[in-house]
Copies of this chain bind each other. A is one copy, B any other.
Amino acid sequence: MDRNVARQLMSATVDFDRPGKQIGVFHVPLSSHDDAWGVVPVPVAVISNGKGPTVILEGGNHGDEYEGPITLGELIRDLDPAKVSGRLIFIPAINQPAVLAAQRVSPVDGINMNRTFPGDPMGSTTRQIASYVNDVLFPMGDVFIDLHSGGSSLDIIPSAVIEPGRTPEQHAANVAAAMAFGAPIAVVIDNRGDPRTATAAAALAGMTVIGTEMAGGGTVSVDALALCRRGVRNVLAHLGVLPPDMAHTVAQPSRLYALSSRAHVIAEDDGVFEPIHRLGAEVGAGDLVGRIHFITQPARHPVELYARADGIVYGRRQPGRVRPGNCCLVVASPYESSPQ
The answer to whether A318 and B219 have CB atoms under 8 Å apart is yes
Return A121 CB to nearest CB of chain B, in Å: 10
Q: How many copies of this chain?
A: 6
**Given A41-B325, A222-B276, A268-B297, 16 further pairs, Cβ under 8 A:** A5-B204, A29-B192, A31-B114, A32-B105, A32-B112, A33-B104, A33-B153, A34-B153, A39-B325, A69-B293, A70-B274, A77-B299, A102-B319, A102-B320, A152-B319, A217-B318
A327 contacts partner chain B, Cβ-Cβ < 8 Å: yes
CB contact list, A81-104 vs B, under 8 A: 90, 92-93, 96, 99-100, 102-104
A295 on interface, CB distance cutoff 8 Å: yes
In the complex, chain B residues whose CB is within 8 Å of the CB of A266: 27, 38-39, 41
Q: Contacting chain B: which of A59-67, A178-186, A231-239?
A: A59-67
Instruction: Check A158 for interface membership: any CB of B closer than 8 A.
Output: no
User: Is the CB of A250 closer than 8 A to any CB of chain B?
Assistant: no
CB-CB under 8 A from A211, the residues of chain B are none
Say yes or no for A137: interface residue by CB 8 A criterion. no
Interface residues of A in 219-275 (CB under 8 A from B): 219-220, 222-223, 225, 264, 266, 268, 270, 272-275
With both chains docked as a complex, state the minimum distance between the C-beta of A51 and any C-beta of chain B, in angstroms.
Answer: 25
Look across to chain B and name the residue whose beta carbon is closest to the beta carbon of A270.
Answer: B270
A40 to B93, CA, bound (A): 28
- Residue among A27, A70, A315 with max Cβ neighbours from chain B (10 Å): A70
Query: Does A284 interact with chain B (Cβ within 8 Å)?
Result: no
Does residue A168 face the partner (Cβ distance < 8 Å to B)?
no
Interface centre among A2, A150, A297 (most CB of B within 10 A): A297
Contacts of A93 in B (CB 8 A): 295-296, 298
Q: Which 8 A-B pairs have the closest CB atoms?
A: A102-B321, A69-B295, A33-B104, A37-B327, A73-B298, A41-B325, A66-B320, A5-B195
B35→A326 contact, CB < 8 A: yes
Q: A315 vs B35: C-alpha distance in the bound complex, in angstroms?
A: 12
Interface residue? A129 (CB, 8 A): no
